[in-house]
Amino acid sequence: MDRIPNKNMTETKKIRVLIAKPGLDGHDRGAKVVARALRDAGMEVIYTGLRQTPEMIVEASLQEDVDCIGLSILSNAHGALFPRIVELLRAEGRSDILLFAGGIFPDEDVPEIKRLGFRGVFGPGSDTRDIAEFIRTEIAARGPVRG
């Protein structure tokens, strides 16, 4: 069965995900692993590379018309960068985009990140299948994709 091209191919609604690394840390192994896993889960993943400003991330997500943004951060700069990204998305009228975060966050920061509107926060050791499942479930709950 595996050798037969997947029926997803003919499905016209695709989940589009932007994976971005805001801030200055140069470690993108985790972001790349997640990007690859989401591709294998049948999603279209736009990867923007390292050292992105909130403005760059929001502009790219607008042009790519994504359903979901995953932000990977290891530099502990989320306190400054995440609120800015949420604010810019709101200003562009795209608060509907699903947000999740990956990386290392102090436990006490997680509630604040979730309060900002990040529906998922995935720390080290997270199963990429769980991330894919999370995205699928969240998008499905929002009704028809980009309807």
Which residues contact another protein by CB under 8 A? 2, 5-14, 16, 35-36, 38-49, 52, 55-56, 59-60, 62-65, 92-94, 146
Beta carbon nearer to another protein, 48 or 76:
48
User: Least distance (Å) from another protein to the CB of residue 42?
Assistant: 5
User: Least distance (Å) from another protein to the CB of residue 108?
Assistant: 33
What CA–CA distance (Å, rounded) separates 34 from 103?
A: 11
Transcribe 99-131 into DSSP letters: EEEEE---GGGHHHHHHHTEEEEE-TT--HHHH
Find residue 17's DSSP bridge partners: 45, 68
Contacts of 16 (CB under 8 A, 6+ apart): 43, 44, 45, 46, 64, 65, 66, 67, 68
User: Least distance (Å) from another protein to the CB of residue 115?
Assistant: 26
Beta carbon nearer to another protein, 89 or 101:
89
Beta carbon nearer to another protein, 58 or 86:
58
Beta carbon nearer to another protein, 55 or 111:
55
CB 46 within 8 A of CB 64: yes
User: Least distance (Å) from another protein to the CB of residue 89?
Assistant: 12
User: Least distance (Å) from another protein to the CB of residue 140?
Assistant: 16
Q: Which residue has the tokens 């989320």?
A: 78
3-state SS assignment for residue 69: strand
Beta carbon nearer to another protein, 60 or 110:
60
**Helix pair angle (29-40, 128-141), 10° resolution:** 60
